[in-house]
Amino acid sequence: MTLFNQERLLFNPVSPNSDAIPLIFAFPNEYSVGITSLGYQIIWGTFATNSDISVSRLFTDIQEPLPRNPELLGFSFSWELDYVNILNILESLDIPLHSNQRNNNHPLVFGGGPVLTANPEPFAAFFDIILLGDGENLINTFILAYKEVRNADRATKLRHLATIPGIYIPSLYEVTYHGLEGDIKSIDPLDNTIPNIIEKQTYRGNILSASTVVTEKAAWENIYMVEVVRSCPEMCRFCLASYLTLPFRTASLEQSLIPAIEKGLTVTNRIGLLGASVTQHPEFESLLDHLSQPKYDDIRVSIASVRTNTVTEKLAKTLANRGTRSVTIAVESGSEKIRKIINKKLTNEEIIQTSINAKLGGLNNIKLYGMVGIPGEEDIDIEQTIMMLDAIKKAAPGLRLTFGCSTFVPKSHTPFQWFGVDEKAKKRLKYLEKQLHKKAIEFRPESYNWSVIQALISRGDRRLSQLLELTRYYGDTLGSYKRAFKELKGKLPPLEFYVHDNWKTEQILPWHHLKGPLPQTTLIKHLETAMLNND
């Protein structure tokens, strides 16, 4: 029995028309990872219910029968280092890696997802088409526009698609630099028929996503996912999940959430409530009450990261009664100064009370997420984080406390996009590890080296494509990237430029021509407000 045979579908695929567009929809990772991506599931479901499309799925370890001459090859791109698998898949299908080497016999290669919506430029050479933003409206618009030029040559197709809002054709834009190792001088369309700015598309409905497939072979076994909220109203200054996906949207309880949950429960008893700040849904209490009914006694509910001061004893009790053993909250730091800089509206008292509530409600574990290297951070701020964690441990004895910690990474379209990675962060992670070990607090640091690679890709421009091709053969370690930079010396700026340098607010950023939810002027105001708290 194949992995595909074990799927329980929550939609009815349609039979493609005789002249349907042959399309391969790939996820550049293993099936268990890809099928757990709600975004991938939704877009696949959209293709599979369109009779004008004949869709085949492709993962790195399994694939459906593929068309001999696909017209479109799409990638859902969720994790930066999966670019290696994108290049491997293109090679395995005999498709040139670079868009400018493809001809009319090759499929148009398109991509979407969080990595490409944030900053597609390091990967611009590999994609013919990039879809920016939410797929709900964009996917159908893309297919309709493609159908209008389906029989045209490659160049005509791309020029037509470039006129559609949210569709970005990298090859139709020219980037110039202040020298080979300098920053960007300009980003211009090739002519006046191509738009200067491409705007990310935003779905504004109140019916959000829910799983289209449930399988025990998913990374989260038999999970049915329901999107409760999209974006986050808190707007922490570094947070891509908030700034890039604004405005904050909530699913209708009666029209979206309850019907979706009822549908999911026909095939599984595991429900996952998704969103950057699930408990800030205005009717979250009512959703809890609904899930607390006796008829749901045998279901298991897991919940994504929640806002700290919304973890009441009632919430903890409901989750404990529904099979959840832990709750995850992002606190970022134990320092009040740092929380003010990043706009994290929290006090240590609220964080400690959350832990007490979690224990009183019957949860066994609380996972806190923190960060080092935040702009303005000093050694005293690290000490305050240690003191806060110690206070939590004393206030809720017996509750297992886990502290996960990453390094600040600048992200596009956020007020902190101009800051570099602080090299002192590496030492601070080590110091935290040593001190928390003494206090028997479980510490889970994210690799500092991985943060450097993330920063490189998140602030990269088109010159990085040659570097990414080199590192594909060297492996995904920081040493590989440094080796590639050495080989390409003189052809692009050094690693420090992309990763550690603070950029000027007036310089042209790689995503200058890609419009996010907030204008640059607003991001600069938010940056200035943040830095006032550092004085």
Determine the distance from the C-alpha atom of residue 229 to the mean position of all C-alpha atoms in its chain, rounded to a whole number. 15
E-assigned strand segments in 59-116? 72-76, 108-112
Domains annotated on the chain, with CATH: 4-199 (3.40.50), 291-459+503-532 (3.30.750.200)
**Contact call for residues 300 and 271 (beta carbons, < 8 A):** yes
Per-residue pLDDT of the chain (535 residues; tens, 9 = 90+): 588 989 999 999 999 999 999 999 999 999 999 999 999 999 999 999 999 999 999 999 999 999 999 999 999 999 999 999 999 999 999 999 999 999 999 999 999 999 999 999 999 999 999 999 999 989 999 999 999 999 999 999 999 999 999 999 999 999 999 999 999 999 999 999 999 999 999 999 999 999 999 999 998 899 999 999 999 999 999 999 999 999 999 999 999 999 999 999 999 999 999 998 899 999 998 998 999 899 998 999 988 878 888 888 988 998 888 888 888 999 999 999 999 999 999 999 999 999 999 999 999 999 999 999 999 999 999 999 999 999 999 999 999 999 999 999 999 999 999 999 999 999 999 999 999 999 999 999 999 999 999 999 999 999 999 999 999 988 888 999 999 999 999 999 999 999 999 999 999 999 999 999 999 999 999 999 999 887 6
Q: Tokens 């470039």 identify what position?
A: 162
Structure tokens at 101: 């080497």
**Contact call for residues 228 and 274 (beta carbons, < 8 A):** yes
Structure tokens at 427: 């030492």
DSSP three-state, residue 24: strand
**Contact call for residues 80 and 454 (beta carbons, < 8 A):** yes
Structure tokens at 183: 């920053």
187 contact partners, CB below 8 Å, separation of at least 6? 173, 174, 175, 508, 512, 513
Instruction: Please give the backbone phi and psi of residue 271, each rounded to the nearest 5 degrees, phi first.
Output: -115, 130
Q: Tokens 């991506």 identify what position?
A: 37
